[in-house]
Amino acid sequence: MDYVAPKTAMEASEALVQDGAFALAGGTDLLVKLKTKFISPNIVVDIKQVPKITSIEESMDGWWIGAATPCAEIVEHESLCQDWPGVVEALSLIGSTQIQGRATLGGNLCNASPAADSVPALIAANGTCVISGQTGEREEPIENIVISPGATVLAKGEFILGFKLPKPPSGSGDAYLRLIPRSEMDIAVVGVGTSVSVDKNKKITSIRISLGAIAPTQVILDGLEDIFIGKEPDEDSINKLVSLAESACRPIKDKRGTIEYRTKIAGVLAKRTLNIAYERATNH
Amino acid sequence: MNDMTQTNFERALKIVGSRPARPDGVDKVTGRALFGADKSLPNMLVGRVLRSPYAHAKILSIDTSKAEKLKGVKAIITSVDFEDFPSEFVPNGEMVVNMKDITRNVMAREKVLYVGHTVAAIAATDEDIAEQALALIDVKYEVLPHVLEVEDAEKSDAPLLHDDMMTIGVEPAPTSASNVAKRVEFGFGDVEKGFSEADLVVEREFTTQQVHQGYIEPHACLASVSEDGQAELWCTTQGPFVVRNFCSKLLGFNAAQIRVTASEIGGGFGGKTVVYLEPLALALSRKSCRPVKMEMNRAEVFTASGPTSGAKIWVKIGVKNNGQITAGDCILKYQAGAFQGAPVGPGAMCAFAPYDLTNVRAVGYDIVVNRPKVAAYRAPGGPISEYGVESVIDEIALKIGMDPIDLRLKNAAKEGTIAPYGPKLGPIGMIETLEAAKDHPHYSAPLGPNQARGVASGFWFNIGGETSSSITINEDGTVGLTLGTPDIGGSRASMAMMASEELGVPMELIKPIIGDTNSLGFNFLTGGSRATFSTGTTVVESTREAIGELKKRAALLWEVSLDQVEWVDGHARLISGDEPKTMSLAQIAKQAGKTGGPIMANCSMNVTGAGPSLGTHIVDVEVDKETGRVSIIRYTAIQDAGKAIHPAYVEGQLQGGAVQGIGWALNEEYIYNDKGELENTGFLDYRIPVCSDVPMIDTVIVEVPNPNHPYGVRGVGETPIIPPLAAISNAVSRATNKRFDELPLSPPKVLAKLMHG
Ligand SMILES: Cc1cc2nc3c(=O)[nH]c(=O)nc-3n(C[C@H](O)[C@H](O)[C@H](O)COP(=O)(O)OP(=O)(O)OC[C@H]3O[C@@H](n4cnc5c(N)ncnc54)[C@H](O)[C@@H]3O)c2cc1C
């Protein structure tokens, strides 16, 4: 097995084109898979030296978060935390302090687990990602990246350079909650990211909810506009949200939770994240 | 036995009861301590195990020829490399073992009985070659139907694991084989009469799941057998002497041929009392004449080492309206795993043991299933049966409107009570722990919304057993202690403290080590909460003998008779005489050469008189009624230690036991698929608690001295895992107004009960 640490995006793409090449960011998924012999790479391409891939930048257009920025650095970024508390909450749940010193958003997304914590929050935040390849860069919505457990749309030689999040308009808030049986070091039974914006009268102007671990890939809830736009959330709309979330579930029954349980929790967490996000939006 | 009239219970103690740093502490925190996998030897080979992919199958053939031809493969073993034994129960220390089963568990013979069962083992020059070689071994199986649950295994048409197994303990003796290995019964009085006298009778069925001890250090060993048949074995174990005996029997060595050295141990909790890799490594080393190191990975630990039983139990208790229990009855069905030996006997014995009853019966069944053979786990069998009883006690308390501690106090066992398993109890601390619980501020603290408080008590016997240790007085006045029970919970510190107290020399001058199997007489293992009690007794005894010798040497030097010398604060002192005359231990030791040679003493005995330890736990839980998630808000563990030699390590035992009990109660369980494969073979899905799952566990040590130990010690290591199961279940039941009777109380199960009842 070879190891390279290219200094430019182009060199990284050239290395990644080879058969059996794997990108290495924090390695918290990759090394586990290596050690358990789940994968046996021919070449490991450490992408952390590629320019911009570990930087966080704020501009008029919004946020840039380099795909290989360790979560621990993102958590400490104060103004990002103010703009996207739910996104930061989500990635701050990954593993533990030690894991977050290495774990990255690019790795969390490209590992393509339905239970990845940061992904529903990033989708709810309307994030996009910049993909770098041999022919240059392209931008894709985050929800387009994962196609099935363990599989992404990335072509040979492609990797994620970074994520773009919009600057939230005033009156916005987001939230992420997951359910795990333990209190940390666990994998989400269900994770829900919710982002809302409100007008001066506290009426909802936009809403986006994404659920993780309830289907082979993250799910975006459809039909929220009809229920919530122009209104404050009330019992009736929340009940509708709960049913919508429950009916979006296409979970597998496995050791982490029965179908009935995941479905029920999807509704509960959708409701709870909406309450938190709405509360944040009205105070933003 | 030492002179028990020389009581230490009232005497002012200087060292015992204090909290000095442990002698092994620095090595542990710096990483210098050597654990099972930390030793290597020149020319060492790597040993790996081929394991059964099936839960139950006949082995038709094993062809190792291709693997043998692989370059770098130095030895391959299968069952033909092990002698067979008749089905016969033989003692090994305090355990009674069946060598026929043990040899089959170490290496499958006719059949594989669980996924992960060892089928062959290989020693090769490196790990990759060993892995490749495993893949080249061709095993032909005939897959058989399997059975995982006791209620299925006991049916007459269930797949039979052992076609010669006749249930022991039933009348008339059965004529056909079954999966029920034995029936046990304890108790006295007339339970039916007792129930007829009751104002209220509550009966309920409970289910618990198979759980693993979850020690962080996987099994590991290093064996080296020389060309002349001398064997050295380094391994992580609770009992090197027991390992020696198992291995010598399995491999046809005599005891003197195998020297076993126990490494530091990264947790055992009863799980490191049997052998898995050790006989394989020895057999591979004997075959290859090279050292062989073997380690399990975590999945192997879960699938192929011994967890404790899952169980189905039924409990029935009758009471008068004033809380007086009129009768208690229970039936316990425990999974044994693939071979008989579920801890249902002790489970039945202690089920009702916290109480003073006139009509009591406990019946137990030991049932084999296609799961790994169970091993001891902290108070083996106790947590399961007492979970059922303590849950019913709580339900009764609610129904008759009585405080659950008062109900227990009303029926508490005390000195003179006839225990349900027969003997009359000596002094015990059931009442004292209950009173301490009632007086604790935790018991009356206010509760928040969705919170409730649960309590439960627990009883465990504790044991003594064969023990041997020695003390040497060095020329410079320092002291060496050689102990035969591996230090799992700080026992080196406790032993040094007792020797220090007796000798009157600072603990820092005393160096305790764990000896190998050639350095002492037989020691039964560290288990049954026996080390501080049993090894402590021999340490005090040999220290007193050494003091006698020191006095003798002083008398020689002073040219007085022995009765003129007493031992005070680390010095010999002349009793009479015009001016006070003393001689320090160091001064005597320096002159030992001219007064008769080195000073050393040892004590070897079968220690008896262990004192049962009782505990009562209080827990506050909060239940998220929308998700079924249970949080532990506050926890207090109260226990009778007899005497806490080192209180911090006693507290550590109470806290550790409570946390393991919390894991058992909330999330731990073996999850099998329909092929009988374990689905959660790692700590991600086998959920022991993480730090943030538990609050700081508050502790209260109660001291009701055990008259049979020089300082009053009882064992403390096992009792604290008993109360948490029921305490938490009772709290969750009270928080939700539903009676929970199934563990674990994992979020899906709790929510299902809240939704569907
Ligand atoms: C103990 C432990 C606890 C964990 N807990 C959680 C948790 O609570 N929640 C959770 O969601 N996850 C958890 N994880 C999983 C893991 O930490 C996260 O998924 C993490 O975000 C992965 O990031 P990484 O940088 O370490 O990825 P890596 O391991 O470096 O990479 C993961 C995969 O993505 C690919 N990859 C990485 N970066 C890129 C890129 N920029 N472009 C293209 N492909 C890329 C790699 O080739 C690899 O296939 C845990 C892991 C461990 C070991």
Substitution target in A32, A92, A179, A183 with the highest count of B β-carbons within 10 Å is A183
Judge whether A181 lies within some domain. Answer: yes
Judge whether A117 lies within some domain. Answer: yes
> Which tokens belong to A31?
């090394």
> Which tokens belong to B711?
């300082």
Question: Which pLDDT belongs to residue A37?
Answer: 85
pLDDT at B577 over 80: no
Name the domain boundary from A134, A166, A198: A166
One-letter amino acid at B643 equals K
Are A156 and A179 in a shared domain?
Answer: no
Are A179 and A278 in a shared domain?
Answer: yes
C-alpha pair distances (Å), B152 with each of B2, B181, B345, B679? 52, 14, 21, 20
Question: Which pLDDT belongs to residue B10?
Answer: 66
Q: Which residues pair with B569 in a beta bridge?
A: none
Q: 13-32 in B: which are within 8 Å (CB) of A?
A: none
Question: Which pLDDT belongs to residue A252?
Answer: 72
Q: How many residues are present in chain B?
A: 757
Task: Please judge whether A186 and B684 are an interchain contact, meaning their C-beta atoms are less than 8 angstroms apart.
Answer: yes
Distance from the alpha carbon of residue A152 to the mean position of ligand 1, in angstroms:
14
Question: Which pLDDT belongs to residue B128?
Answer: 94
One-letter amino acid at B529 equals S
What letters, b where the CB count within 10 A reaches 16 and e where it falls short, cover B619-638?
bbbbbeebbbbbbbbbbbbb
Judge whether A126 lies within some domain. Answer: yes
**B172 preceded by cis ω (within 30°)?**
yes
Q: Name the residue of A29, A44, A137 whose CB sits within 8 Å of the most ligand 1 atoms, as the mutation to test its pocket.
A: A29
C-alpha pair distances (Å), B720 with each of A268, B208, B529, B613, B723? 36, 18, 11, 9, 6
For B237, residues 6+ apart whose C-beta sits below 8 A from its C-beta are B243, B260, B262, B263, B265, B268, B272, B273, B278, B486, B525
Contacts of A187 in chain B (CB under 8 A): 684
Residue of B580 and B264 predicted with greater confidence: B264
What distance in Å separates the CA atoms of residue A41 and residue B221, rounded to the nearest whole number? 31
Q: Name the residue of A18, A22, A28, A156 whose CB sits within 8 Å of the most ligand 1 atoms, as the mutation to test its pocket.
A: A28
Question: Which pLDDT belongs to residue B579?
Answer: 77
Question: Which pLDDT belongs to residue B348?
Answer: 98
Judge whether A10 lies within some domain. Answer: no
Are A196 and A134 in a shared domain?
Answer: no
- For residue B225, how many C-alpha atoms fall within 13 Å in the half-sphere facing its CB? 21
Distance from the alpha carbon of residue A100 to the mean position of ligand 1, in angstroms:
10
What distance in Å separates the CA atoms of residue B394 and residue B400, rounded to the nearest whole number? 10
pLDDT digit string (tens) for B524-536? 999 999 999 999 9
Picking from A181, A184, A264, the nearest residue to B667 by CB comes out as: A181
pLDDT digit string (tens) for A114-161? 999 999 999 999 999 999 999 999 999 999 999 999 999 999 999 999
Are A249 and A153 in a shared domain?
Answer: no
Q: How many residues are present in chain A?
A: 284
pLDDT digit string (tens) for B114-140? 999 999 999 999 999 999 999 999 999
Question: Which pLDDT belongs to residue B3?
Answer: 44
Picking from A254, A258, A265, the nearest residue to B627 by CB comes out as: A265
For B680, residues 6+ apart whose C-beta sits below 8 A from its C-beta are A255, B302, B669, B670, B671, B686
- Mean pLDDT over B493-510 rounds to 97
Q: Which residues pair with B232 in a beta bridge?
A: B224, B259
- Band the pLDDT of B1: cuts 50, 70, 90: very low
Which stretches of B558-681 are assigned E, i.e. beta strand?
565-568, 571-574, 582-584, 599-607, 613-624, 629-640
Contacts of B690 in chain A (CB under 8 A): 182-186
Question: Which pLDDT belongs to residue A88?
Answer: 97
**Look-up of token digits 């049962």:** B612
Instruction: Name the maximum alpha-carbon separation found in chain A.
Output: 60
Question: Which pLDDT belongs to residue A256?
Answer: 62
Q: In order of start, what are the domains of chain B with their CATH numbers?
A: 25-33+464-606 (3.30.365.10), 45-145+213-304 (3.90.1170.50), 426-458+611-756 (3.30.365.10)
Substitution target in B132, B297, B626 with the highest count of A β-carbons within 10 Å is B626
- For residue B597, how many other CB atoms are within 10 A of its CB? 9
Are A72 and A161 in a shared domain?
Answer: yes
Are A162 and A211 in a shared domain?
Answer: no
Distance from the alpha carbon of residue B106 to the mean position of ligand 1, in angstroms:
39
What distance in Å separates the CA atoms of residue B694 and residue B422, rounded to the nearest whole number? 38
Per mean pLDDT, which range of A30-34, A224-228, A247-251, B354-358 is the poorest? A247-251
Q: 626-665 in B: which are within 8 Å (CB) of A?
A: 626-629, 631
pLDDT at B720 over 90: yes
| Residues B711, B641 contacting (CB under 8 angstroms) | no
Question: Which pLDDT belongs to residue B301?
Answer: 98
What distance in Å separates the CA atoms of residue A29 and residue B331, rounded to the nearest whole number? 47
* B213 to chain A, closest Cα gap in Å: 18
C-alpha pair distances (Å), B196 with each of B359, B492, B500? 11, 53, 58
Are A188 and A217 in a shared domain?
Answer: yes
| Residues B437, B405 contacting (CB under 8 angstroms) | yes
* B632 to chain A, closest Cα gap in Å: 11
> Which tokens belong to B629?
């998630």
Judge whether A30 lies within some domain. Answer: no
Q: Identify the CA nearest to A197 among candidates A121, A140, A124, A123.
A: A124
pLDDT digit string (tens) for B541-550? 999 999 999 9
Ligand 1 nearest atom to the CA of residue A116, by list position: 11
**Domain span at residue A245?**
172-282
User: Is the Cβ of B756 closer than 8 Å to some Cβ of chain A?
Assistant: no
Are A221 and A243 in a shared domain?
Answer: yes
Rg (CA), chain A: 19
Picking from B627, B679, B693, the nearest residue to A255 by CB comes out as: B679
- Chains A, B: CB contacts within 8 A come to 50
Question: Which pLDDT belongs to residue B8?
Answer: 57
Judge whether A42 lies within some domain. Answer: no
| Residues B722, B715 contacting (CB under 8 angstroms) | no
Judge whether A41 lies within some domain. Answer: no
Q: How many domains does chain A have?
A: 2
- Band the pLDDT of B9: cuts 50, 70, 90: low
Q: What is the CATH number of the domain that holds A56?
A: 3.30.465.10
* B52 to chain A, closest Cα gap in Å: 19
* B102 to chain A, closest Cα gap in Å: 30
What distance in Å separates the CA atoms of residue B159 and residue B349, rounded to the nearest whole number? 30
The sign of the CA dihedral A85, A90, A91, A94 is positive
Share the mean pLDDT of chain B: 96
pLDDT digit string (tens) for B618-648? 999 999 999 999 999 999 999 999 999 999 9
Substitution target in A242, A264, A275 with the highest count of B β-carbons within 10 Å is A264
**Look-up of token digits 């975590």:** B298
Distance from the alpha carbon of residue A30 to the mean position of ligand 1, in angstroms:
7
- Band the pLDDT of B4: cuts 50, 70, 90: very low
pLDDT at B6 over 60: no
C-alpha pair distances (Å), A115 with each of A182, A192, A246, A259, A262? 15, 10, 17, 15, 12
* A126 to chain B, closest Cα gap in Å: 28
Distance from the alpha carbon of residue B730 to the mean position of ligand 1, in angstroms:
40
Distance from the alpha carbon of residue A276 to the mean position of ligand 1, in angstroms:
27
Per mean pLDDT, which range of A252-256, B132-136, B258-262 is the poorest? A252-256
Question: Which pLDDT belongs to residue B94?
Answer: 64
pLDDT digit string (tens) for A223-237? 999 999 999 999 999
Q: Any residues with Cβ below 6 Å from ligand 1, and which?
A: A 22-30, 32, 47, 67-68, 93-95, 99, 102-104, 106-108, 110-111, 116-117, 154, 159-160, 185
Substitution target in A185, A259, A275 with the highest count of B β-carbons within 10 Å is A185
> Which tokens belong to B690?
């993480």
* B671 to chain A, closest Cα gap in Å: 7
pLDDT at B467 over 50: yes
Strand pairing category for A21-24 and A43-46: parallel
pLDDT at B617 over 90: yes
Are A204 and A178 in a shared domain?
Answer: yes
pLDDT digit string (tens) for B731-752? 999 999 999 999 999 999 999 9
pLDDT at B676 over 80: yes
Judge whether A37 lies within some domain. Answer: no
- Mean pLDDT over B314-327 rounds to 98
Are A180 and A241 in a shared domain?
Answer: yes
Name the domain boundary from A133, A166, A199: A166
**Look-up of token digits 């028990």:** B4
Are A74 and A123 in a shared domain?
Answer: yes
| Residues A194, A127 contacting (CB under 8 angstroms) | no
Name the domain boundary from A118, A138, A166: A166
Question: Which pLDDT belongs to residue B2?
Answer: 42
What distance in Å separates the CA atoms of residue B185 and residue B168, rounded to the nearest whole number? 12
Strand pairing category for B258-262 and B111-112: unpaired
Question: Which pLDDT belongs to residue A257?
Answer: 64
Q: What is the CATH number of the domain that holds A225?
A: 3.30.390.50
A187: nearest CA partner in chain B: B684
Are A103 and A194 in a shared domain?
Answer: no
